[in-house]
Copies of this chain bind each other. A is one copy, B any other.
């Protein structure tokens, strides 16, 4: 019988739980809103404890909203740390799941998890250096290099890149830390604040969409300059707006202006900036891969 894993995508607005051996066979899946840690993680535990003829996951993985502590040597490893989200600061997610479910628990950021999912099974299978960006309620980015999620001092926080001023834009931005960073100027709530109504209600030819595409293209140009990824997968609710990614690609090629002399920044940009191959499951399937690796690690096997 195939080994079953549990994947958990912990987002700021919703949680997704998935049970299965991999993306081709999903035994069970559930989505519910993110409320308090007690209630939300209680539902996660209940999902994996549900009687299914003795079918239980051998390990769990979590792709979590952050910031989170990914340093195994730290006393707060496995915690969500300084999040402004009410009730969630310094929540010990990994500790609670290990205690309640008694299996190894893998752990990374939502966007590193999504990058890992796309690298393993989705639109990044041939990319040795893959970036995943989400554009929705917030903007975040993670990376996988040579099959390993990127960690350093902490983990990437690609949403908070500094931005140039476009079109004498005077919108002050919505980021409480930086004001006019990429997230502050281009996340869903920024679009809504700028337009005075939800982004979904804007006409496709509203000039706000072109401005949005240009800010996102500057963000991708910055990521390209620093990391030189082989592919950028762009997920999230805002990014799925029809035509937006195509506009981002056009502006990215224009902004690069021939400097990075690669066809990926020219004729082949369609295969450089791409939609997720796993749809909305990049993060939760990445969590499944985190689970598989954590089980191998707990057994002293190579990942």
Contact = CB atoms under 8 A, between A and B. Distances in A.
Interface of A: 67, 81-82, 128-129, 141, 145, 150-165, 177-178, 180, 218, 221-230, 255-262, 264, 272
Contact of A228 (B128, B150, B178): B150
B67 A261 contact: yes
A162 B218 contact: yes
B158 A225 contact: yes
Contact of A160 (B165, B180, B259): B259
A92 to B, nearest CB: 17
A227 B228 contact: no
Contacts of A262: 153-154
A221 B226 CA distance: 12
Contact of A156 (B154, B227, B230, B264): B227
B260 A154 contact: yes
Given A152-B128, A164-B165, A180-B164, A228 B261 contact: no
A128 B152 CA distance: 7
Contacts of A129: 151-153
Nearest to A230: B153
A302 B215 CA distance: 44
Number of copies: 2
Nearest to A255: B178
Contacts of A150: 145, 227-228
23 contacts: A67-B261, A82-B261, A129-B151, A141-B226, A145-B145, A145-B150, A150-B227, A152-B228, A152-B229, A153-B230, A153-B272, A154-B261, A155-B228, A156-B225, A156-B227, A157-B228, A161-B225, A161-B226, A162-B164, A162-B255, A163-B164, A177-B256, A223-B226
Contacts of A152: 128-129, 145, 227-230
A225 B259 contact: no
A227 B226 contact: yes
Given A163-B164, A164-B165, A157 B230 contact: no
A216 B161 CA distance: 14
Contacts of A180: 164
A261 B157 CA distance: 12
A261 B145 CA distance: 24
A222 B160 CA distance: 8
A36 B239 CA distance: 48
Q: Which of A150, A156, A257, A259 has the most CB of B within 10 A?
A: A259
Contacts of A260: 67, 153-154, 157
A258 B178 CA distance: 10
A259 B165 contact: no
Given A161-B162, A177-B259, A222-B226, 16 more contacts: A129-B152, A129-B153, A151-B228, A152-B228, A153-B230, A153-B260, A153-B262, A153-B272, A154-B261, A156-B227, A156-B228, A160-B259, A161-B226, A163-B164, A164-B165, A227-B227
